[in-house]
Amino acid sequence: MAKRKEDAPPAGSPAWMATFSDLMNLLLCFFVMLFAMSSIEEAKLEEFVAAMNNTFSIFDGGASAIGDGILISNGVSQLNELDQYINSTGKVADSDTDGEKLEEFEKSPEALEKMLEEQRLQENEERVEAIEEALRESEIGDDVETSFTAQYVKLSMNGGLLFDSGSAELKEEGEQVIGKVGLILERYGDGIIEIEGHTDNVPINSAQYPSNEELSSARALSVFYYLLDSTSLSPVSVKHAGMGERVPIADNGTPEGRSRNRRVEILIYNPSAQ
């Protein structure tokens, strides 16, 4: 009896493959639609990439191994300078720590201002040390008090050393002190220099100076004119102001306190603080 021929397999792909292909196309369309509807903020994306890089040591430039063209086999590195490549991942290098601090300052204006404040304070501390040395060399270290903040260095001179009571005309001794101070101020002429006159709270009512405001302003102006005549300082960078009795540094209830309050102060501002 002749054998019956087996049925030939149907032509084309199996039926399940067509269904599977349709499903894949639908999923592809679905994700394309999701991508098209989403919006990616470049700044957030960069922050995310930086965070992933620091946390998981993702390599720069999309590299997937340490060192292009370097053999890595059996889980053991064949690199001769492994430390260099480890540092490049951002986990060990000290420079990356500085970079993180810089990023922190960029994100926080308060932190940046604090960093600048500390830098100015250090600069003014170094400046006041140099000024004190120059005052000693000029033999007027005992006549000028110094102090500083992050904004300025302050030179303070007793009013009795510079002026007679109730007068705004510099005495001969006062001119000598101001002249030596002026030579020091020339080193800092690139910044703002401010001259302030101060008095105690004892009222004055003379024909020339009806109040302490006028007297303190006249004394600051006298120092201003003398500095311009005896130094190379520019009048553009030198200011003057009369403060009267408004900023005491001692108790006006005692003779010693009133003597300290009668003074002339010269403020040398840090150029970066202006």
pLDDT for position 64: 45
Angstrom CA distances, 73 to 78, 117, 184, 274, stand at 8, 52, 69, 60
pLDDT tens, position by position, 137-174: 999 999 999 999 999 999 999 999 999 999 999 999 99
pLDDT tens readout for residues 242-254 = 999 999 999 999 9
Q: Parallel, antiparallel, or unpaired for β 152-158 and 238-242?
A: unpaired
* pLDDT above 90: percentage of residues in the chain: 54
pLDDT value of position 6: 52
Residue 232: name the closest of 272, 184, 194, 160 by CA. Answer: 184
Which pLDDT does position 171 carry in this prediction?
A: 97
* Residue 54: both structure tokens together: 């620091």
Pick out the chain residues at pLDDT < 70: 1-13, 37-107, 274
